Amino acid sequence: EVHLVESGGGLVQPGGSLRLSCAASGFTFSDQNIDWVRQAPGKGLEWVGRSRNKAKSYTTEYAASVKGRFTFSRDDSNNSLYLQMNSLKTDDTAVYYCVTVSGTYYAFDSWGQGTLVTVSS
C-alpha cells in the first residue's frame, strides 16, 4: 500500500526558510514522479510543482508563484522527497501535500496527510 508522510511544517517569519519532507513507502520510489500541492487556509488547491523520477533524470517543474524560491530534491536511498522553501512570504501559508503521479496515465494517485506551514511575524 502506498503511504506518504509529510513533515517539517511550522511557523516561520517572512523571508525565512523551511524544508519539508515527504517520506514514502509501498512503491519503488526512484520510479515515481511526485508532485507538491498546497492549500491556503479556507481556500482551494494550488499545484506547487513536480519532481520527476530517475528515468526522467530527476527534472522538475515549478509553479510561477514559487519558481526561484522553492527547490525539490530527493533521496532515493531513503525514499524521501524534500521541498526547500526560501524567501517565504505570508502568501505561502498553507497545508502542503505530496502526491504520487501515475506513470501510466499521469494523473494524481495517492496523497499524504499534509503538513502546515505558517509564515507570519
Partner 1 sequence: DIQMTQSPSSLSASVGDRVTITCRASQGISNYLAWFQQKPGKAPKSLIYAASSLQSGVPSRFSGSGSGTDFTLTISSLQPEDFATYYCQQYSSFPLTFGGGTKVEI
Kindly list the residues in this chain that would bind partner 1 in the complex (CB under 8 A).
35, 37, 44-47, 50, 61, 63-64, 97, 102, 105-114
In whole angstroms, give the CA distance from residue 44 to residue 16.
Answer: 24
- Of 85, 82, 80, nearest to 65 by C-alpha is 85
Measured from the CB of residue 105, what is the shortest distance to partner 1 in angstroms?
A: 6
| DSSP, res 81 | E
Nearer to partner 1, 50 or 74 (CB): 50
Residue labelled with grid coordinates 517520506: 23
Give whichever of 65 and 84 is closer to partner 1, judged by the CB atom: 65
Least CB distance from residue 121 to partner 1, whole Å? 26
